[in-house]
Amino acid sequence: MVKMNKVICLITCFSFAVFAQSEIENTEVPAQSETENTEVAAQSETENTEVVAQSETGNTFLDRINIGIKLGVNFPSIVYSSKRLDDYQSSTYATGLFELFGEYSIIPSLSVLPGIKYTTRGQHLDVFGFKYEYNVKFIELTLPVAYTFPTTIDISPYVIGGPVIGIVCGGDIRYSEGDRISHKIKLNKSNSSSSDFGLYFGSGLKYNLPINERFLMILGFEAGYHLGLTNKYSDKEHNKTAKALNADDYNIEGTRKHRGLELGITFALPLASFKKLKQPEPPPPVPEPELLQESEPEQLPESEPEKPNHTVDEITNQ
């Protein structure tokens, strides 16, 4: 009987110990899971904050604008509609070209480039000792659109084209016959129209050249063609009211229009390089999870040893 009581007591104590250990493990698992969820949520919120900060910085108006200059040469010529004059081919010569331009990106591959250009157009002839120079200085307003082909390297090809409005700002006409006769007159409304309209189209390459961690220069090489669309004869020349120095009267037939092959090097800077960099806001502090202290298993009261039961006969015999 005594042995049975001891076995029952041991089984009871073992059951309580197993139950207490199970409670401790169940308490630790939810606490660990809650800690991991908190860390994941904090990391996700930090990444979202950085993405939003970058998005706000990359979508501003200044980030879409580049400013630059173009330096180059222009090879001008004149095209006549009259067959009599069109037989006189222009001599090849070069004039300077300077342009200030801006670039606004509508989308990453499509941009518009308004600019103001200064160059000289016209024609040089040298036929049988007769030399003729027609020099027209222009300030041109350009509004081309460019499409840049996406690449995986820093060099990007592009095509460009758009309208050109030219305003005459000076020039002269020179001609001579050998060493005997030489004339030079300034350009005016009697011998040239005061404006011009045409198209420009071309292609080129752009290269992104980092200057330092903040500044970036965009270098480019461009080749294009100017196609004049308006007649450059003046109204007085057509009406034969202008006085000619080398003839009794004007004999104007058809039209004359400007042409020109242009080669240039471009230098551009993004306006975003000059603005103060926006720092992303720091993420909110993540509260540290509370660590649950392990609870000690409940101490069971020690059971008093059972006193042996004796019969009256056993007590008497003692």
- Predicted local distance difference test score (pLDDT) of residue 14: 45
- Predicted local distance difference test score (pLDDT) of residue 234: 85
Residue 152: helix, strand or coil by DSSP?
A: coil
Q: Are 235 and 216 in contact (CB under 8 A)?
A: no
Is the alpha carbon torsion for 50, 53, 58, 63 positive or negative?
A: negative
Task: Strands of the chain (E only): list them.
Answer: 65-80, 95-107, 110-112, 115-127, 130-142, 145-148, 155-177, 181-186, 195-210, 216-228, 256-270
**Distance (Å, whole) CA 270 – CA 152:** 20
Neighbours of 27 (CB within 10 A): 14
**Distance (Å, whole) CA 105 – CA 101:** 13
- Predicted local distance difference test score (pLDDT) of residue 303: 64
**Distance (Å, whole) CA 182 – CA 149:** 52
| HSE-up of residue 134 (Cα within 13 Å, Cβ side) | 20
Give the position of tokens 């009987």.
Answer: 1
**Distance (Å, whole) CA 193 – CA 168:** 8
Tell me how far CA of residue 171 lies from CA of 119, 186, 221, in angstroms.
11, 6, 29
- Predicted local distance difference test score (pLDDT) of residue 56: 41
- pLDDT by 10s per residue, the chain, length 318: 444 544 444 444 444 444 444 444 444 444 455 555 555 455 555 554 444 444 444 467 788 999 999 999 999 999 988 877 777 777 889 999 999 999 999 999 999 999 999 999 999 988 777 888 999 999 999 999 999 999 988 899 999 999 999 999 999 988 887 766 678 889 888 888 999 999 999 999 999 999 888 888 999 999 999 999 999 988 888 777 776 665 555 567 789 999 999 999 999 999 888 776 566 677 788 777 776 666 666 666 666 666 556 665 655 655
